[in-house]
Amino acid sequence: MVDVKFVDTFGIWQHFSCPIGELTEEVFEEGFGFDGSSIRGWKSIEASDMLAMPDPETAFMDPFCAVPTLSVTCTIAETGTKEPYSRDPRGIAQRAEKYLLSTGLADTAYMGPEAEFFIFDNVQYDNQGHTSFYRVDSEEGIWNSGRDEAPNLGYKIRHKEGYFPVSPNDTQQDIRTEMVLTMEALGVPIERQHHEVATAGQAEIDYKFDSLLRAADKMMVYRYVVKNVAWKNGKTATFMPKPLFGDNGSGMHVHQSLWKKGKPLFAGNEYAGLSPMALHYIGGILKHARALCAICSPTTNSYKRLVPGYEAPVNLAYSSRNRSAAVRIPTYSENPKAKRIEYRPPDPSANPYLAFAALLLAGLDGVINKTDPGEPLDKNIYELPPEELKKVPNVPGSLGEALDCLEADHEFLLKGDVFTQEFLDMWTSAKRKEHDALRLRPHPYEFHLYYDV
């Protein structure tokens, strides 16, 4: 079989399958026809015929199918004209790369995302007009230290103490290794895997940076492998940013650099070994950071993680010294090829094609306009006195506020027709519905606070 995959508006892979004989040479020019009317955020019923154009560089043998199955990722095109569909996220990423080339500033944008996730043993949730609840569980969870497990052998990971303990505390070394080896077999080279800070199976697997489009393609493979290897082992994995109260959420720090003709452009003699271009790129990211949140932290749950005074970098500053800044300059190596910037507010609920494209456009806006990023903040932002902290801008406090920022600041996303106004209007409308869905419902904790009023 051949499995035809493409990404929907909000970053979820969709697919249909055909006998391998349907994968002819002509298909790479003509595409696979399909009905796109039921894809979230896409066409209406009266104009729903679409083409899935397979990219042969994305092909891999799907390790989770019983029958040998070749997987190919597609970009979506309009029937008739074969013009790229303006709402296709992969097409948006491709247009971002073309826009970069058109500026003459660089020919390659490298992206290196670090996506965190949770591996749970059980998840239950329900929402109705008269009731609402969720429950996740993990054999590692500190809340199970007193559970009758016949026998309970202890070694539960305490809150915020999950960073790097060996087994028997870390119970998920083998399942993470299976994920790593599966990804590598599918062409996603891995640098490292480890337990993350939170109790209850928080994990991180880092793959090597790649060009913008390819890094996003690999993030989709990454998610697919993580979820299916967990499923295969009787567990469940989630990229939800904040599934646990009182412990760290899951981020997706994005490392970025620009190159031209095989040479890195971010290395120089300015602050932290950066070039003027890199500092201006940071200036663009910080200038548009509040609007970027609507794309890079796109769920209501994202803002349970982005809370001042907790683990996430909500303060819009840059630094080489600490991880409390929104933009960090890694200093592991003096090699010019390793010089990059790391943007820390995003989380793995983001659609990688949209997030990477938006970050590139914000950075390029800073480079083109020589945006000054201001002075670096080499102090622990979490320990700044209130009078100093007031001078440091923050990310938005909610999805609704982030969408307001996007509506007020989005011209940089329209450059090169990478994003269209029509796409951004659709995105904002869809995300406001999510924001309102949560805003309109009673929260279970409100009963604890207010039932006796």
List, by residue number, the catalytic residues: 35, 114, 116, 196, 204, 253, 323, 342, 344
Is 169 within 8 Å of 155 (Cβ atoms)? Answer: yes
| Partner residues linked to 132 by β-bridges | 127
Encoded tokens for 255: 């490392």
Among 135, 157, 267, 272, smallest CA distance to 203 is for 157
Is 276 within 8 Å of 270 (Cβ atoms)? Answer: yes
Is 40 within 8 Å of 434 (Cβ atoms)? Answer: no
| Partner residues linked to 219 by β-bridges | none
Helix (H) or strand (E) run with residue 93 in it: helix 89-103
Encoded tokens for 346: 């995003």
- Exposed (0-12), middle (13-18) or buried (19+): which is 434, by Cβ within 10 Å? middle
The CA distance from 258 to 364, in Å, is 10
The CA distance from 264 to 286, in Å, is 22
Q: Residue 308: how many CB atoms within 10 A of its CB? A: 13
| Partner residues linked to 14 by β-bridges | 6
Computed over its alpha carbons, how large is the radius of gyration of the chain? 22
Q: Residue 396: how many CB atoms within 10 A of its CB? A: 23
Helix (H) or strand (E) run with residue 277 in it: helix 276-287
The CA distance from 362 to 292, in Å, is 8
One DSSP character per residue, 112-143 reads EEEEEEEEESEEEEEE-SS-EEEEEE-TTBGG
| Partner residues linked to 61 by β-bridges | 70
Look at the block and give the residue holding tokens 């271009």. Answer: 277
Q: How many residues does the chain have?
A: 453
